[in-house]
Every structure is written in C-alpha cells, then in structure tokens.
C-alpha cells in the first residue's frame, strides 16, 4: 500500500465499531487491533443482553417499528421526564442537524476544539460560526465568563456548551452552567451537549435537563448509543420545553427509529443495574489508564470526565506519525487530533479501555516515542484490518463474561487543576529518548492502579 494508513481510519469519525469487555491477555501484544479511537462503553451490553437480542433477532428484523411516541414514553418513564419535553433521534447527530435547520438563525458560538458537527453543520447551511479557542496554556479549560464576553462581542445568537467537552474531557460544574444559562437568557438558543455526561463523577447530579424543561431557549442533548456500547444502534434524545421539543419532534422523519433501538429502550429497565455498573467500571478504568499514561516521560495527560483522555505528545513527536506507527507496528488504533479545529498534531485522544488493552497501548507508545530503531512499514489494506477489528470487537482479545463482574474500587481525590501532568515535562522527543533508553520498556503490570492517580475527578 502506498503512502500511509491515514485513509483507512478517517480522523474526524465520531463513531466506530462497538466494543465489549476483553479477557485479560498475557501482555505480549498478541491479538487483533485494539481500537482506542471511538468513545464507547466496553462493559455494556453484557453477554446476557447480547443473548437476549440474538434470541429476538428474527422478530426485530421482520417487525415494523412502533410509533415514536410509544418509544419516547417508555424512555421518559425510565428517565422521569415529561414526554412532551423529549424528542428521540436516530443518533445525536440527526438531532444536531435538525436543531441547526429549525432553531439556529444567522450565527452560532462554540468553543473549539470540539465535536466537528458543531462547527461543520451550521457552516454547511450558511450560518456564521463564532469559534472560541480553548487555550492549551489553561489546560483547555473553558472560562465561561470569557466565553460569555466573546458571545456578546460577536453578537452570536446561539451558544453551544459540551459538558464534558470532546476531545479534552473538560467538565463544567452544574452551578456554573446554570449561571451561564441565566446570563444567556436573551439568546435564541443555548444547547448543552451532555453526550458523555454519564461518565462524569465529579458531581452526583451534574445534568441541567430539568433546567431545559423550564427555560424558553435551552436544549439539552444526550447520546444513548455510545453510552450503551452500541454504536450501531443510533439513539439520541434532546430535552427542552414543550414548544422547542415539539418543533423538533414534528419535523423528525416518521419511523426514524429502527426496531433494534426500540428494543434497547424497552430492555433498559430490566438491565439498568448492569448498565449502571458498566459506567462505574469505565470511571475506574479512566483513573487507572490516566495514571499509566502519565508515567510516560514527556507525555501530558489532561484530566477528563468523559470516557476518553486527551494527551499531549513530547516535543518533537508528531501525531499522525505516532498514529501510523502504532497501527503498523503494534496494531493499536488511536485518534490523532491535528485535523481538529483548535487542536494540533501534538495531541491524541485516547478512548478509555480496560486494563488488558492499556497493557498493549502503554509499551507500544513507549516504543514508538522513544525507540528510534523501530520499523516503519505499514500494513496491507482496509479489508484485512477491518476484518481483524470485527473478529475481536475492537478489543484485540477474545471476550470473557467474567470481565464485567470485576470489583469497582473507590475513586481517588480530584485533580488540583486542568493543566495536565507531564511526568518529565518540557522534554523533546530526543531528550526523552536519551533518558529512557537504558531503562526497561515498561514496568511489569503487577500493580495496576485500581482507582488511583491524580486524574480521577475534576471540577
């Protein structure tokens, strides 16, 4: 194959293969590709949920979907929300499209870097997009006071908040978001995108959905497919006052939800305990994975409340080169963020994955960043890699039912700030290489942090 592997894995993709809990491997790197690109819950659905879906597959595929109102009522009963305030979409991306067409007028303000549809969608329909740059020097933290001043200066009529933000995982406390909503009460629309808020543990109840029900210009967007570990089930919902929610609901295509999405909504009540536990396991893995990555010299790990970590590579390392070598030499897939507005080629976004997968990622990163003698040949083609990803469900190792029953330790204390922590900060790649060359590649993974490290919580 000529060139590099960039074309195999589009860098702006927000979704990808669903993942599932891998069995513990021997740590020798054997197995198929491990996918750290696409945020997804690796512990849900459980094997029991998959078995139930498989048993009903014939009925699911041969039935016509129910009326969207019935599915909405079932979900609202579970979420304790009034159905007239909710609109269900074929994924959060469909809802972003309809919000843009129906409720966004001439301009929209959004902090960057962020999910590309929040910048691309309004521009595709001729809107002015006012991009508020998050500063690397501040750890990409969003200062809501400065953001509000920016909105006033630009005259933006719609404002977007992502909480947590993607790709950096930055978190905004509920009180600060409510104060921002108060200050922006004269705007046409304020959208709070809470697609990854299920994974936050900085507050007991950080969502502002109840505020959206009461306010005339606020919409809260939530994603279900990714949180449930089912990228293939396109399912998202928005919450707003009855007038706003009704306008979107009236324009959604009839039958926009398939029978598989419908079945998952009705199964959630029965499997709610397993789902809640899966979220706790992801939070545990986030803390442990951040601690392991922060031990790599020159690598900066930013505190995150999402199911992904934003990392800055050592000075001199380039994201696309690191990405391509990780795939070619180690069969590890990562998201390089050089093509994201507001980011650069020094940054990667790494999805939180279980311990066995991180045991492959960390030594692979160390070899690529610090070993100049590694080969740089690339693998052969899209079909072969995609087949390996499908065979292992993106985890690189075979699935094990017992993985979902591992104990969940208590999280550690909050991080002191959002500036990230370089283990040997300010080093160039060459300096790091010189300091680490005589040392073993990676300490033996005997003391996997159960829930420790300085990156457990923010806010």
Name the band, by pLDDT with cuts 50, 70 and 90, for residue 416.
very low
User: Does residue 374 have a pLDDT over 80?
Assistant: no
CB 268 within 8 A of CB 31: no
In this predicted structure, the answer to whether residue 58 has a pLDDT above a threshold of 60 is yes
48-268 shares the fold of 13-45+273-406+416-436: no
Residue 228 confidence class, pLDDT cut points 50, 70, 90: confident
pLDDT over threshold 50, residue 443: no
Q: Is the pLDDT of residue 458 over 50?
A: no
Is residue 456 predicted with pLDDT exceeding 50? no
User: Given a cut of 70, is residue 41 above it in pLDDT?
Assistant: yes
Boundaries of every domain in the chain: 13-45+273-406+416-436, 48-268
- Confidence band, pLDDT 50/70/90 cuts, at residue 420: low
> Which range (74-78, 93-97, 245-249) has the least confidence?
74-78
Give Cα 326 distance to the centre of its chain. Answer: 20
pLDDT recorded at residue 415: 38
CA 26 vs. chain centroid, Å, equals 28
**380: buried, middle or exposed (CB in 10 Å: 19+, 13-18, 0-12)?**
exposed
Residue 293, pLDDT above cutoff 80: yes
Judge contact between 200 and 307, C-beta under 8 A: no
The model's pLDDT over 384-395, given as tens digits with 9 standing for 90+, comes to 444 444 444 444
Structure tokens at 340: 């994201």
Top-confidence residue, 355 or 8: 355
Candidates 352, 346, 322; CA nearest to 36 is 352
Q: Quote the pLDDT of residue 127.
A: 97
Rounded percentage of the chain residues whose pLDDT exceeds 70: 74
Estimate to the nearest angstrom the gap between the alpha carbon of 87 and the chain centroid.
22
- Please indicate whether residue 159 or residue 379 has the higher confidence score (pLDDT): 159
Work out the number of other CB atoms within 10 angstroms of the CB of residue 12: 12
Burial class (CB in 10 A: 0-12, 13-18, 19+), 69: exposed
**What is the C-alpha separation between 311 and 191, in angstroms, rounded?**
27
431: confidence class by pLDDT, cuts 50, 70, 90: low
- In CATH, the number for domain 48-268 is 3.40.640.10
Average pLDDT, the chain: 80
Q: Measuring CA to CA, which residue among 235, 229, 309 is closest to residue 46?
A: 229
**Residue-wise pLDDT tens digits, 234-283:** 888 999 999 999 999 999 887 778 788 888 888 888 888 999 999 999 99
Sorting pLDDT into bands at 50, 70 and 90, what band is 451?
Answer: very low
* pLDDT surpassing 80 at residue 19: no
Output the pLDDT for position 396.
47
Label residue 331 by pLDDT band (50, 70, 90).
very high
Average pLDDT rounded to a whole number, residues 329-355:
95
**Residue 76 in this model has a pLDDT that exceeds 70:** yes
* pLDDT exceeds cutoff 50 at 346: yes
Q: 229 falls in which pLDDT band (50, 70, 90)?
A: confident
Rounded to whole angstroms, how far apart are CA atoms 285 and 294? 14
Q: Give 31's pLDDT tier (boundaries 50, 70, 90).
A: low
Q: Alpha-carbon distance 115 to 129, whole Å? A: 14
Contact 287, 449 (CB under 8 A): yes
Q: What percent of the chain has pLDDT over 90?
A: 57
Residue with tokens 């990163």: 365
Residues recorded for the chain: 459
- The residue ranking higher by pLDDT, 196 or 413, is 196
| Helix/strand/coil (H/E/C) assignment for every residue in the chain | CCCCCHHHCCCCCCCCCCCCCECCCCCCCCCCCEECCCCCCCCCCCHHHHHHHHHCHHHHHHCCCCCHHHHHHHHHHHHCCCHHHEEEECCHHHHHHHHHHHHCCCEEEEEECCCCHHHHHHHHCCCEEEEEECCHHHCCCCCHHHHHHHHHHHCCCEEEEECCCCCCCCCCCHHHHHHHHHHCCCCCEEEEECCCHHHCCCCCCCCCHHHHHHCCCEEEEEECCCCCCCCCCCCEEEECCHHHHHHHHHHCCCCCCCHHHHHHHHHHCCCHHHHHHHHHHHHHHHHHHHHHHHCCCCCEEECCCCCEEEEECCECCCHHHHHHHHHHHHCEECEECCCCCCCCCCEEEEECCCHHHHHHHHHHHHHHHHCCCCCCCCCCCHHHHHHHHHHHCCCCCCECHHHHHCCCCCCCCECCCCCCEECCCCCEHHHHHHHHCCCCCCCCCCCCCCCCCCCCECC
Report the pLDDT averaged over residues 103-112.
Answer: 97
Exposed/middle/buried for residue 7 (C-beta within 10 Å: 0-12, 13-18, 19+): exposed
Distance in angstroms (rounded) separating the CA atoms of residues 18 and 249? 28
Q: Quick count: other Cβ atoms within 10 Å of Cβ 186?
A: 7
- Cα 75 to Cα 110, 149, 249, 262, 359: the distances in Å are 29, 38, 15, 10, 38
Token pair 């070619």: residue: 328
- Out of 3.40.50.720, 3.90.1150.10, 3.90.170.10, 3.90.190.20, the CATH code matching 13-45+273-406+416-436 is 3.90.1150.10
The residue that leads in pLDDT, 74 or 17, is 74
* Least confident segment among 87-96, 104-113, 193-202, 412-421: 412-421
| 300-302 β-sheet, strand order | 335-336, 347-351, 308-312, 300-302, 421-422
**pLDDT tens digits along 161-205:** 999 999 999 999 999 999 999 999 999 999 999 999 999 999 999
């Amino acid at each position: 194959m000529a060139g590099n592997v960039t074309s195999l894995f589009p860098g702006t993709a927000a979704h990808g293969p669903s993942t599932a809990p891998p069995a513990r491997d021997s740590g020798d790197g054997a197995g198929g590709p491990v996918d750290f690109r696409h945020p997804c819950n690796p512990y849900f659905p459980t094997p029991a949920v998959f078995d139930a879906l498989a048993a009903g597959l014939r009925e699911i595929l041969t039935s016509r979907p129910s009326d969207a109102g019935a599915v909405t009522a079932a979900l609202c009963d579970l979420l304790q929300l009034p159905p007239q305030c909710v609109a269900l979409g074929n994924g959060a991306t469909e809802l972003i499209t309809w919000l843009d067409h129906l409720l966004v007028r001439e301009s929209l303000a959004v902090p960057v870097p962020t999910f590309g549809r929040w910048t691309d969608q309004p521009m595709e329909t001729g809107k002015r997009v006012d991009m508020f740059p998050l500063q690397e020097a501040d750890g990409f933290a969003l200062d809501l006071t400065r953001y509000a001043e920016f909105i006033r200066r630009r005259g933006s009529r719609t404002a977007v908040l992502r909480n947590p933000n993607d790709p950096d995982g930055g978190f905004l406390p509920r009180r600060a978001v409510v104060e921002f909503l108060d200050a922006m009460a004269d705007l046409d629309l304020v959208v709070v995108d809470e697609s990854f808020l299920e994974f936050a543990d900085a507050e007991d109840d950080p969502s502002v959905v109840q505020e959206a029900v009461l306010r005339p210009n606020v919409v809260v967007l939530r994603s279900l497919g990714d949180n449930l570990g089912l990228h293939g089930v396109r399912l998202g919902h928005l919450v707003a006052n009855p007038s706003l929610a009704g306008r979107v609901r009236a324009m959604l295509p009839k039958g926009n939800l398939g029978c598989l999405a419908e079945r998952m909504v009705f199964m959630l009540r029965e499997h709610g305990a397993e789902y809640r536990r899966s979220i706790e396991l992801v939070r545990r893995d986030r803390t442990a994975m951040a601690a392991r990555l922060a031990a790599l010299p020159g690598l900066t790990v930013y505190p995150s409340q999402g199911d992904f970590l934003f990392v800055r590579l050592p000075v001199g390392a380039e994201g696309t080169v690191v990405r391509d070598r990780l795939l070619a030499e180690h069969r590890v897939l990562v998201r390089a963020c050089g093509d994201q507005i507001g980011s650069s080629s020094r940054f990667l976004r790494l999805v939180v994955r279980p311990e066995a997968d991180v045991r492959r990622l960390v030594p692979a990163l160390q070899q690529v960043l610090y070993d100049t003698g590694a080969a740089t040949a690339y693998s052969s083609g899209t079909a072969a890699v995609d087949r390996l990803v499908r065979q292992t469900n993106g985890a690189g190792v075979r699935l094990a039912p017992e993985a979902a029953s591992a104990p969940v330790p208590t999280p550690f204390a909050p991080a002191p700030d959002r500036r990230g922590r370089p283990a040997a900060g300010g080093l160039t790649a060459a300096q790091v290489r010189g300091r680490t060359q005589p040392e073993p590649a990676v300490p033996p993974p005997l003391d996997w942090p159960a829930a420790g490290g300085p990156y457990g919580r923010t806010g």
